[in-house]
Amino acid sequence: MKIRKLQLVGGSSYMVSLPKEWISRFNLKQGDEIILREFDEFVVIQPQKEEREEIRVEVSRIPSYDKRFLKRFLGSIYSLGVDRIILQQEGVGKHITEISEISHHFIGMEVLDCTNDCVVLHIFTIPDFDVITIIKRMYQILSGLLEEIESNLLAKEPENMETINSRIHRHEEDFDRLYLLSVRLVNRGMKKITISEWDELRFMLGSRMIAKFYEEIADILFILSRYLWEYDIDVRREVHGFIVRLEEAFRLGFEAFIRSDLVSSQNFISLVEELTDEIQESIDKNQEGTILKELLIQICRMLESVGEISFNKSVREMVRTY
């Protein structure tokens, strides 16, 4: 441990000298910028990092060209936050049609080059996207899906089911692409975090968990939408009432997370708990539509977890303020 004395400069600012060894280690010189971060009772000093070099991944052994496998394989690499994927294997170019089609499932991914033995994919940086923007868009899609279901639920003869299913399928595709982008952004963000940025790390992890819960809620809604109109109008009327309540809870939960509002977070958790109890009570009284109601309870459980994340985030920010 080295001790330095504060020096008063110009009557209003203080200066402290930095160890020469530290300056040499990071090749710093007079006029270079450094970063000061406040962390609890500490001030952490870091050198200003240069622009990050492109992260590349070279794959020389592709176990399978099965389309489902390739989509999952490229999705895993994409989510790691790399910039360029080089598939280098004899004959890989023969599968360029499938690879190009798969690349369209990932936001920002394009095929840059292709030969018989090499395919180069690049993931372009999208500066306007951050994890909160993605979660907001995921929330909008989920809200749209809930509204789609709710608006047709009470009709004796819902509008053309093929049209409804087509719209829901588009929601599903958009949601999958956004979820993978959220994982990618979180992984890239975590690579930049230092030991002094625990709050940022917690925020990143919490955001990823919420994105995952949103994805699972979307999956449940997609399943529910396929079977909903097979039930008679009485069952659908009851489920409609629950979905209206769910829409309100969903809106409240999103706003509580974005605003870090402690009271709203608690109100959201209480609302979801009450709704869960009501749905369970309905199952106990009437077995009709039990599968639909159980799916709604699963959504409520996930929303409770979202509420806990929002509540903890609100507490952290409140404690840090004082």
* pLDDT > 70: percent of the chain: 85
Based on the fold, state whether residues 42 and 65 are members of the same structural domain: no
Based on the fold, state whether residues 140 and 213 are members of the same structural domain: yes
Based on the fold, state whether residues 91 and 184 are members of the same structural domain: no
Question: Which whole number is the average pLDDT over 119-127?
Answer: 82
Distance (Å, whole) CA 129 – CA 1? 42
Based on the fold, state whether residues 92 and 162 are members of the same structural domain: no
pLDDT tens-place string over residues 277-290: 999 999 999 888 89
Q: How many domains does the chain have?
A: 3
Question: Which whole number is the average pLDDT over 215-227?
Answer: 87
Q: Is the pLDDT of residue 115 over 90?
A: yes
For 157, the domain range is: 131-321
Distance (Å, whole) CA 98 – CA 190? 32
Based on the fold, state whether residues 32 and 62 are members of the same structural domain: no
Q: Is the pLDDT of residue 321 over 60?
A: no
**CATH code of 236's domain:** 1.20.58.220
Based on the fold, state whether residues 114 and 29 are members of the same structural domain: no
Based on the fold, state whether residues 34 and 85 are members of the same structural domain: no
Kindly state whether residue 232 falls inside one of the protein's structural domains.
yes
> Which residue type, as a one-letter code, is found at position 27?
N
Q: Which of 8-22, 24-38, 187-201, 275-289 has the highest mean predicted lDDT (pLDDT)?
A: 275-289
Backbone angles phi, psi at 38, to 5 degrees: -85, 130
Based on the fold, state whether residues 190 and 317 are members of the same structural domain: yes
Last residue of a domain, which of 68, 90, 123?
A: 123
For residue 217, how many other CB atoms are within 10 A of its CB? 23
pLDDT given at position 91: 93
**Chain mean pLDDT for the chain:** 83
Q: Is the pLDDT of residue 166 over 80?
A: no
Residue with tokens 């840059």: 112
Question: Which whole number is the average pLDDT over 126-138?
Answer: 77
Q: Is the pLDDT of residue 197 over 60?
A: no
**CATH code of 13's domain:** 2.10.260
Kindly state whether residue 1 falls inside one of the protein's structural domains.
no
pLDDT given at position 297: 95
Distance (Å, whole) CA 159 – CA 81? 42
**Residue with more model confidence, 18 or 162:** 18
Question: Which whole number is the average pLDDT over 156-181?
Answer: 73
Structure tokens at 317: 């920010």
Kindly state whether residue 2 falls inside one of the protein's structural domains.
no
pLDDT given at position 128: 56
Based on the fold, state whether residues 247 and 142 are members of the same structural domain: yes
pLDDT band per the 50, 70, 90 thresholds, residue 159: low
The closest of 61, 121, 63, 56 to 88, measured between CA atoms, is 61
pLDDT given at position 203: 75
Q: Is the pLDDT of residue 293 over 90?
A: yes
Last residue of a domain, which of 70, 101, 123?
A: 123
Q: Which residues contact 254 (CB under 8 A, 6 or more apart)?
A: 136, 139
3-state secondary structure labels for all residues of the chain: CCCCCCEEECCCEEECCCCHHHHHHCCCCCCCCEEEEEECCEEEEEECCCCCCCCEEEECCCCCCCHHHHHHHHHHHHHCCCCEEEEECCCHHHHHHHHHHHHCCCCCEEEEEEECCEEEEEECCCCCCCHHHHHHHHHHHHHHHHHHHHHHHCCCCCCCHHHHHHHHHHHHHHHHHHHHHHHHHHHHHHHCCCCCCHHHHHHHHHHHHHHHHHHHHHHHHHHHHHHHHHCCHHHHHHHHHHHHHHHHHHHHHHHHHHHCCHHHHHHHHHHHHHHHHHHHHHHHHCCCCHHHHHHHHHHHHHHHHHHHHHHHHHHHHHHHHC
Are 175 and 182 contacting, i.e. CB atoms less than 8 angstroms apart?
no
Kindly state whether residue 160 falls inside one of the protein's structural domains.
yes
Question: Which whole number is the average pLDDT over 104-121?
Answer: 92
Question: Which whole number is the average pLDDT over 8-24?
Answer: 82
293 burial (CB, 10 Å; 0-12 / 13-18 / 19+) is buried
The closest of 164, 145, 168, 309 to 243, measured between CA atoms, is 145
pLDDT band per the 50, 70, 90 thresholds, residue 322: very low
Distance (Å, whole) CA 318 – CA 295? 35
pLDDT given at position 90: 92
Based on the fold, state whether residues 228 and 306 are members of the same structural domain: yes
The closest of 228, 265, 235 to 249, measured between CA atoms, is 265
Kindly state whether residue 63 falls inside one of the protein's structural domains.
yes
pLDDT band per the 50, 70, 90 thresholds, residue 52: low
Question: Which whole number is the average pLDDT over 228-256?
Answer: 89
> Which residue type, as a one-letter code, is found at position 119?
V
- Of 65-79, 101-115, 124-138, the one with minimum mean pLDDT is 124-138
Residue with tokens 């009570």: 281
Q: Is the pLDDT of residue 123 over 70?
A: yes
Last residue of a domain, which of 106, 123, 140?
A: 123
pLDDT band per the 50, 70, 90 thresholds, residue 114: very high
Based on the fold, state whether residues 110 and 252 are members of the same structural domain: no
Based on the fold, state whether residues 38 and 112 are members of the same structural domain: no
